[in-house]
């Protein structure tokens, strides 16, 4: 097992924020909408500015909310689709 830190995706913070904003949700509201119990606004803020890396359950929730595959979210070679779900079209599970 190596000791080097994984390389972080530089576009991930921006993508997370774009998804949240497309849904028309505040940082507090996205926690509830995506059923991300145990997280606070400071977590979401940290993800969006790239200070902390979100766990896989958070990445999956964002990808599902945006109706995209996880690869699009986490791979810097891919961009988000121009048309993301909105608050009106988003239906949490």
Closest CA to 90 of 71, 70, 64: 64
Closest CA to 26 of 91, 87, 89: 87
- Mean pLDDT of all residues in the chain? 90
SS3 86: coil
Q: Which two tokens stand for residue 41?
A: 């606004």
Q: What is the pLDDT of residues 55-90, one digit of tens each?
A: 999 999 999 999 999 999 999 999 999 988 887 676
Distance of CA 61 to the CA centre of its chain: 7
Provide the pLDDT for residue 2.
58
Q: Which two tokens stand for residue 65?
A: 């909310």
Asked: is 12-74 a CATH 1.10.260.40 domain? The reply is: yes
- What is the reported pTM? 0.87
């Amino acid at each position: 097992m190596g000791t080097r830190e994984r390389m972080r995706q530089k576009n991930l913070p921006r993508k997370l924020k774009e998804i949240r904003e497309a849904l028309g949700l505040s940082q507090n509201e996205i926690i509830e909408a995506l059923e991300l119990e145990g997280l606070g606004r400071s977590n979401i803020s940290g993800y969006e500015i790239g200070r902390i890396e979100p766990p896989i359950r958070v990445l999956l929730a964002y990808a599902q909310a945006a109706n995209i595959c996880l690869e699009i979210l986490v791979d810097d070679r891919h961009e988000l689709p121009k048309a993301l779900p909105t608050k009106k079209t988003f239906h949490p599970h």
